[in-house]
Structure 1
Amino acid sequence: MSSRYNLLKPMEPPADFRVLAIMPVYNEIDIMAAVLKHIEMSGLLIYVIDNGSTDGTWELVKSWKGNAMVGYERFPYREGKENTCYDLALISARVGEIAGTSDANWAVWHDADEYMEPPVSGLALRQAIYGVDTCGYNAIEFRLITFVPIDNSFVPGTDYVAHFNYWTESYGVKACKWIRAWRVPQSHVDFPAGSHEIDFPGRQVFPGKFILRHYPLRSQSHAERKIFKERIPRYSETGKAKGWHVQYSGTKEGDCFLGDPQTLRKLTDNFLEEVNQLDG
């Protein structure tokens, strides 16, 4: 393992070291309970921004009994009206506002279809972020690893992290930097690439990448519904003009969204080592 990861030592953070996961969501009912559990087990607090879900996600969030939930809201709020537009610039600004006014030491942009982990075993995410903090860095970059369904066997409501076993590094937008965790407060934060990267004056990024497991598509039917009904029609003109929302460019109805195991990597007990070696 690269020496840069040796900076992360097993240290227990003080009780008042708070990491806030800010989670914008839209129609993620099939994995919502599981991701909330995973974030709570990672030692993070949770604030959910619901963008007008219609599938029960909002109701689940409001009724969630976990101790990690510190807040939730519908944004933008339109009383009695369906929110038909996903305006990433607006949501990004709101994420920055929530982080900046919180009492957290660090904030993380954490989408519902993700699972974040340190690049070394034996550390919870909160512990690893504390390790980065003690080294004097104020931002963390993640390596995007996308898990791909090879069949339609995923059962909504079960643990997506335990279910999906095939992954790739080169799926979707690979070229972006995924700087998704930062120390707060900062005088000004910006999201020049939408949800992918946070920027601010004096940013010092930890030299090793944490791991961002991504589970955007969970079955053929889920992919068709998400892409053609819940994402592409809702993208704002502002976001498209900025060159965002390109991950489904070129897809069309009738495409197969199931992966071929022969072209993917299978999850093994050496997953962390395999991912870290991608740096060379």
Structure 2
Amino acid sequence: MNGNKTIVLGFDGSPNAQLALDRAINEAKTRDGLLRIVGAYPDSEISGTGLVRIGAVPGFSEAARAAMTKTIDDASTTARDQEVKVESVVCPGNPIDVLVEQSKSAELAVVGARGTGGFFGRLIGSVAASLPAHAECPVMVVPSEQAVAKGRTSTTTDADSDFSGNVVVAVDESGSGIRAPSEAARLAAAHGLPLTIVGVVHVSYGAYGWSTVSVDLDVITSEARATLDECEKTVKTDYPDLQVSKRIIASHVYARPPAVILAEISATAETLVVGSRGRGGFTGLLLGSTSQALLNHAAGPVMVVRN
């Protein structure tokens, strides 16, 4: 973490990007930081076929730059109207590459889960899936209004599964590394919110649907408690006044796989924080199917922290 309090926003003007802008403004104000609004436009090919070069279409690159510049200028005006310090960046290139480069000097990157489609849609759709695995800072992915409504409608909550008003960090038996709990604590403290550390334990049944699950679960749960205690100790060292609670949730690859549990948590959590890699149920997180399922179905902001 470079500590320069710069929030990078990948923006394309879509409705989902507008929601990401709102969250980025909130983060910049909360951290008293700089909001850098970034727009990328294509300058090499008209389509993915590679058959037609932009250079062969007079004025195309200039028009693309002009359109993106206006989009970024409008977003910058919105942010400045809320008394946020703003700078804008408009440049040609692959949006993922552009944002990865910008992340090197940022405290947090924010993107929407969906974009406009076509050229500029790449800024969000593929970026939300790819940027968290490559960025040099934590990445917050903000869902669309439709995803929020669908997720909260389909999720049944009770006292044990309601994380309202909490920043939640989900860890497996590896603890998701040191950074995810620490970044979650930092986010919670900045917003004056409590932190809940959730241990997701992975229960594997035998090939024929049976095993000594009760014995295995006791062992796994004990290990999970130890991991949660260690995470709490770590965050309390830096944030002694932070309110911290812990919960353990069992995951099963068929009935309740990790992605389902994480999506359910996101439906009520203020923000869900996950590490980019883990063992057990989170193996390959943000590099395979778990990542796609979570980011596609999350009903609230998800902040991904590379370990």
TM-score class normalised by the smaller sequence: under 0.3
TM-score by length of structure 2 reads: 0.26
